[in-house]
Amino acid sequence: MRRFFYEPAQEAAGYILIKGAEAHHIRTVLRLRLGEKAELLDGVGGVVYSRIDQINSDSVSFRILSRRQEPENCRPLTLVMALLKGKKMDMIVQKATELGVHRFVPVITHYCEAQSRDSQMLPRWQRIMLEACKQCGRPWLMQINEPASLHQLNIPAESLKVMPWEKETACSFSTLNIETETRQPALLLIGPEGGFHSEEVEYARGCGFKTVSLGPRILRAETAALTATVLIQHCLGSLSYMSEF
């Protein structure tokens, strides 16, 4: 079933009137017809099961058939990701959305690509995130922060903080005792292609991050990000159908 996002102001008297680019996409690109059904998402957990009632030149009207409200994940995960070159960040934004990451925080580190001056970067990530939400049926939008330096991060004191590091040999991911801390928010810090500078490692440890190994092989930054996200989401119970929210 097709899914689209709408603003609360677009709802009135049992109908939702979608305008703008989303309406153009429905009418011109997808060529949906009267009577076809769709799920409408409000980005904050609301899911509306609806049917197209009217198609105009600049809008599409959906009749509300039923609705449900999905609660927000009580074990939110923040992915703090050092900027990568090329389109790798686009892919990580997409997959992080699909994997249920609550907040995505791009961070500028010593060895990362300095892309912070790209004015189109954040709007592009927002579009990628929205399309990923539609594809996977996620009713809550992933929050995306502006790029910031490592020292500018807002790190909650009462949170589980994990930092995969290629030079860590004493502590593997499997040794983390995550199950006993399932109600804490979690932060996952992933470095760039060149890894973390030694001073950054010490700073992160001083902020409470636990360095862990992801195995004997040196992974690409994007591989490490997705691998660690899946592992920590599994430990938090966020990949379980019955306990996702």
First to last CA, the chain: 22
- What is the model's pLDDT at position 243? 43
pLDDT in tens, 102-113: 999 999 999 886
- Residue 135, both tokens: 């594809």
Four-way CATH pick for 2-69: 2.40.50.140, 3.40.50.720, 2.40.240.20, 1.20.140.10: 2.40.240.20
**Mind giving me the DSSP string for 161-179?**
EEEE-TT--S-BGGG---G
Q: How distant is the alpha carbon of residue 185 from its chain centre?
A: 15
- What is the model's pLDDT at position 115? 54
CATH class of 77-236: alpha beta
- What is the model's pLDDT at position 74? 74
Cα–Cα distance measured from residue 213 to residue 165, given in angstroms and rounded to the nearest whole number: 6
Per the confidence metrics, is the pTM higher than 0.85? yes
- What is the model's pLDDT at position 191? 94
- What is the model's pLDDT at position 237? 80
pLDDT in tens, 31-61: 999 999 999 999 999 999 999 999 998 999 9
Contact status, residue 4 vs residue 18, Cβ threshold 8 Å: yes
- What is the model's pLDDT at position 72? 83
The structural domains of the chain, with segments of one domain joined by +, span: 2-69, 77-236
- Dmax of the chain from CA atoms? 63
- Short-list 63, 68, 65, CA closest to 17: 63
Cα–Cα distance measured from residue 224 to residue 81, given in angstroms and rounded to the nearest whole number: 10
Ordered per-residue pLDDT tens for the chain, 245 residues: 899 999 888 999 899 999 988 999 999 999 999 999 999 999 999 999 999 999 998 999 999 999 999 888 778 999 999 999 878 999 999 999 999 999 999 999 998 866 555 678 899 999 999 999 999 999 999 999 999 999 998 888 788 899 999 888 888 887 877 654 457 789 999 999 889 999 999 999 999 999 999 988 889 999 999 999 999 998 888 876 544 43
